[in-house]
Structure 1
Amino acid sequence: MDLKQIQYFIALFEDGSATRAAKRLNIVQPALSMQISKLEAELRQTLFERGPHGMAPTDAARLMYRLYTPIMRDIEHAREQLSRQDVIVTGRVSLGMVASEAESVLPESLARFDALFPQVEVSVADGFSAQLIDAVEAGRLDAAIINKPRGRLALDVEPLLIEEMVLVTSAVHGVELPQEIDLANMSRIELVLPTRRNGLRGALDAALMAADIIIKPKFEIDLLSSIVQFVEQGNIATILPRVVVQPKVDEGVLRAHTIKSPPIVRHIIQVTHPKRPIGPAAQALITIITDEIKRVTTGVLRTQAP
């Protein structure tokens, strides 16, 4: 496996068509197909199912995409850094994150960031969105990654992601449910949810209210790792962002069911103080974190529209 093959694979995965991918790479289609076939032979895995409507990625392809996309981004970033050897980024970044994102992608994100900016110190605080907003306003944080609140903010806001929330059950102890769920028919399922102080609960309640659906959880817990462990060990369900549970789903410990009606999403935003714009290191860290969320939930997240 070489870098060219990985580039070809990523282009085909993202475009879904050998014709479009070859055009994007400025090569002929047979050359692309030959490299993908060599890659499949080397990995002993089928990466794409060939069909009349294009190339559909297999589970092995989705895993490979999640693993290699950040590596290729780091290589490109390293090339840029090497071409500007006179520029050395230093200083300190103070970032706030809602716990659901910090627990899910922070370790990998910090490792990538440290490899690119070894001379930058990083401080990360987690908490509820309201707490992090207060910290940015007071100057204790450079920026924060939070759930979009309902009200207007006095801070500068940049949309980052729209993130799917899913119904989660235990793969061992949970009741058998269809892959797509209508929450109006879930009255018999016992739920554990975050409390109403949590922005995740706010996104859920807003969607349910709009659909005129009432759900009363049996348990309310704010520590997401405890919710996940509770669901894993018993016959109870929860509704959480996919990024929180995807590693356990990949391990076969949990099942994630798409909520078809009403669809539930949360909006992830970046907030900064209008009088204190963030520097390139802070922006790079936020970009890496956003990439990591996309990597973990490949094929599920949509980029926020303007």
Structure 2
Amino acid sequence: MELKQIQYFIALFEEGTVTRAAKRLNIAQPALSMQVAKLESEIRQKLFERGPHGMAPTEAARLMYRLYTPILRDIDHAREHLSRRDVIVTGRVSLGMVSSEAQSVLPESLARFDALFPQVEVSVADGFSAQLIDAVESGRLDAAIINKPRGRLMLDVKPLLVEEMVLVTSALHGPELPGTIDLTGQPDIELVLPTRRNGLRGALDAALMAADVVIQPKFEIDLLSTIVQFVEQSSVATILPRVVVQAQADEGRLRIRTISAPPIVRHIIQVTHPKRPIGPAAEALIAIIAEEIGRVTTRAPE
């Protein structure tokens, strides 16, 4: 997924017709249509339906628009700072991330960031959301990317993404299950889940409680990498964000199934101290990380 494709998609979403979107972007209509078609092919979802009044966005397009509009705005803001020839961005960015995101998209994100800000030093810490909140409050971190907690925060909060959580089984040892799972039907599945100290478990429990569904996991483990390895080697299933398991699913080691009921999502937010605003380099790093997460999580279910 290229930045250009996202820009073309947003223009078509907002303008409603290929003609107006192409005029806004100052490109030929076939070029716009081709890039949107490539984007649909990559994420394996239909984004627009042609109708009598133009291009009508699908539900997938609406979700993608909500995910990518703030990211594109942050990238444009960072590019504006970078384009100022009289400014050389230096210094240090100290960022915290929940481990589910750090393990999944951090290497690619840091490589992209280093190409933009070669003179900026970066320090990244992972941990539970509560630990990272404390670190931002005390000044040990400039900002943190965390799971949205239930309680009210005294920090500045910026929503980044709403991420789907999926049921995951081993491709080799897992049970035979349909492509979509209804947890309200109390399926007979042995589960391994993070402990209740983990923000992922909080998002899962909240969704299940709202649907009056009770699930008792057989195993509880906080190390997500261990959960993934355990599931891959056994008949036990888990429920995790798609970004955590997509790479293994692409390699054919895991199978991902959409949870149809109740829908389970986790909200990823950025927290900063109200008295310590972050600079353009930190904004750019967070925007890149959010884009990498969105790139993975907008893939279609298998």
Q: Which residue of 2 aligns with 1:177?
A: 177
What's the CA shift for 1:80? 5.0
What's the CA shift for 1:50? 9.5
Q: Which residue of 1 aligns with 2:49?
A: 53
- Paired residues in the alignment total 274
- Equivalent positions of 1:272-291 (< 5 A) are 272-291=272-291
What's the CA shift for 1:31? 5.7
Say whether the 8 Å CA contact 1:11–1:21 is kept in structure 2: no
Distance 2:45 2:163 in 1: 27
What's the CA shift for 1:82? 6.8
Distance 1:216 1:97 in 2: 28
Distance 1:267 1:282 in 2: 20
- Equivalent positions of 1:135-214 (< 5 A) are 135-214=135-214
What TM-score comes out, normalization by structure 2 length? 0.79
Deviates more, 1:169-178 or 1:114-123: 169-178
Provide Cα deviations, 1:211-268, integer angstroms capped at 9, x if missing partner.
1111010111111011111111111100000110111112222111111111001111
Provide Cα deviations, 1:199-219, integer angstroms capped at 9, x if missing partner.
000111111111111101011
Distance 2:174 2:80 in 1: 49
Q: Which residue of 1 aligns with 2:61?
A: none
What's the CA shift for 1:281? 1.1
Counterparts in 2 of 1:132 and 1:252: CA distance versus 1, 3 Å: same
Say whether the 8 Å CA contact 2:22–2:29 is kept in structure 1: no
What's the CA shift for 1:11? 2.8
- Equivalent positions of 1:1-306 (< 5 A) are 7=4, 11=8, 15=12, 20-26=17-23, 27-30=27-30, 32=32, 53-54=49-50, 83-299=83-299
Provide Cα deviations, 1:268-293, integer angstroms capped at 9, x if missing partner.
11111111111111111111110110
Counterparts in 2 of 1:261 and 1:225: CA distance versus 1, 3 Å: same
Provide Cα deviations, 1:71-90, integer angstroms capped at 9, x if missing partner.
x99x9899756742221101
Distance 1:88 1:151 in 2: 39
Compute the RMSD of aligned alpha carbons: 3.4
Distance 2:48 2:19 in 1: 17
For 1:258, what is the secondary structure of its paired residue?
Answer: strand
What's the CA shift for 1:140? 0.6
Match for 1:25: what amino acid? A
For 2:293, what is the secondary structure of its paired residue?
Answer: helix
What's the CA shift for 1:141? 0.6
Unaligned runs of 5+ in 2: 56-71
Unaligned runs of 5+ in 1: 41-45, 56-71, 301-306
Counterparts in 2 of 1:84 and 1:200: CA distance versus 1, 3 Å: same
Deviates more, 1:83-92 or 1:20-29: 20-29
For 1:281, what is the secondary structure of its paired residue?
Answer: helix
Q: Which residue of 2 aligns with 1:58?
A: none
Say whether the 8 Å CA contact 1:168–1:238 is kept in structure 2: yes
What TM-score comes out, normalization by structure 1 length? 0.78
Distance 2:98 2:262 in 1: 24
Match for 1:225: what amino acid? S
Distance 1:277 1:78 in 2: 15
